[in-house]
Amino acid sequence: MKKTQSRPQLSVLLQQFFLNHLMQQKNVSPQTVASYRDTFRLLLNFAHKWLGKSPAKITLPDMDASLVLAFLNDIERNRHNSIHTRNTRLTAVRSFMHYVSTQDPISLPMIQSILAIPLKRFDQPLMDFFSREEINALLNAPDITTWCGRRDRIMFNILYNTGARVSEMIEMKVKDIVLGRSPAVRIHGKGRKERTVPIWSGTARQLREWMHQIDSSPNQHLFPNRAGGPLSRTGVTDRLKLALQMASQYCPQLQRRKISPHRIRHTTACHLLQSGVDLTVIALWLGHESPSTTHRYVEANLDMKQKALNMLKEPQQKVNRYRPTDSILAFLDNL
């Protein structure tokens, strides 16, 4: 008589998925591991409330399509996550289920129903970016008489100069800065891709001065918090919001603007585009995997569209004067 094969536990599958599949076999970046980790933290906490079971007692059959759909709806409605974030969470769950299909074939029908959950479509808003006047006001806003102000000023300059993602900037180390004849910053980007971006001489000068105010050992974070550790994404955003408030006093149009590290990145791209830099160079500058991503900046750039329109000669059309064909209409038109 054949023994029935025991099915793997959910906790074991999750551990193998992270330690063996993601980290050893695929060697994904720490940022991807962190994103997937956060997804399953949220999912297990939701399942705990939904099923009334502690996370340790939740089984694989419990994680069916109805639970996953309820989880996705919950993070949209109650956590007020964007559709983009919802799709990111679903992608993590899909990746796990693809892995489970190789470890527990009995679960294939349930897995297929989860994999059939579609990514939600969403509107692509027009990219918003700051004008030259606005970005100058922002860069000059931090108070350089304080340690935090000096850090913020060079940090914002690096954001604008390099167009780095906030995750890339907060992970910058002292060893990533090259301050020779051709100053540059080495950026560790998404998908373990590195790129080197040149910096202005003024940015390099500020960096030299900043190095004297922090621990300049190679593995020291370039922009530490007061405790010496890396700044968080929220911390960087909060410092930008503070700079926006200060800059609004001298640049009133900023009072109606919103700010985020990614908006500074958009601003860098659009200003490079306005300066005549080729799209392929901008894609390399920003670390885009596909140049098609960079084409979105053309859509946002009204000045370039206006220049293109000015190059196109307006057609000459004969204007026919309207004449009313009825006496009542003529009377009304003359009122």
Q: What average pLDDT does the segment 217-244 reach?
A: 92
Q: What average pLDDT does the segment 211-225 reach?
A: 92
85 located within any domain:
yes
Give pLDDT tens digits for 235-276: 999 999 999 999 999 999 999 899 999 999 999 988 998 888
276 located within any domain:
yes
For residue 319, is pLDDT > 70? no
Query: Residue 27 maps to which CATH number?
Result: 1.10.150
Task: Clarify whether residues 231 and 190 are in a common domain.
Answer: yes
323 located within any domain:
no
162 located within any domain:
yes
67 located within any domain:
yes
The residues carrying an active-site annotation are 165, 190, 262, 265, 288, 297
DSSP 3-state of 224: strand
Q: What is the mean pLDDT of the chain?
A: 88
Look at residues 295, 272, 279, 286 and name the one whose alpha carbon lies nearest to residue 189: 286
Residue ranges in 52-165 assigned as alpha helix (H) = 65-77, 83-103, 108-115, 132-139, 147-162
Query: Residue 211 maps to which CATH number?
Result: 1.10.443.10
For residue 190, is pLDDT > 90? no
Integer Cα distance of 150 and 207 in angstroms: 10
293 located within any domain:
yes
Task: Clarify whether residues 42 and 85 are in a common domain.
Answer: yes
| Structural domain boundaries enclosing 111 | 10-115
Give pLDDT tens digits for 62-107: 999 999 999 999 999 999 998 989 999 999 999 999 999 999 999 9
The pLDDT value given to residue 139 = 95
Task: Clarify whether residues 64 and 149 are in a common domain.
Answer: no
Look at residues 256, 226, 233 and name the one whose alpha carbon lies nearest to residue 244: 256
Task: Clarify whether residues 137 and 106 are in a common domain.
Answer: no
Number of structural domains found in the chain: 2
For residue 1, is pLDDT > 50? no
For residue 4, is pLDDT > 60? no
170 pLDDT band, cuts 50/70/90, is very high
For residue 288, is pLDDT > 80? yes
For residue 123, is pLDDT > 80? no
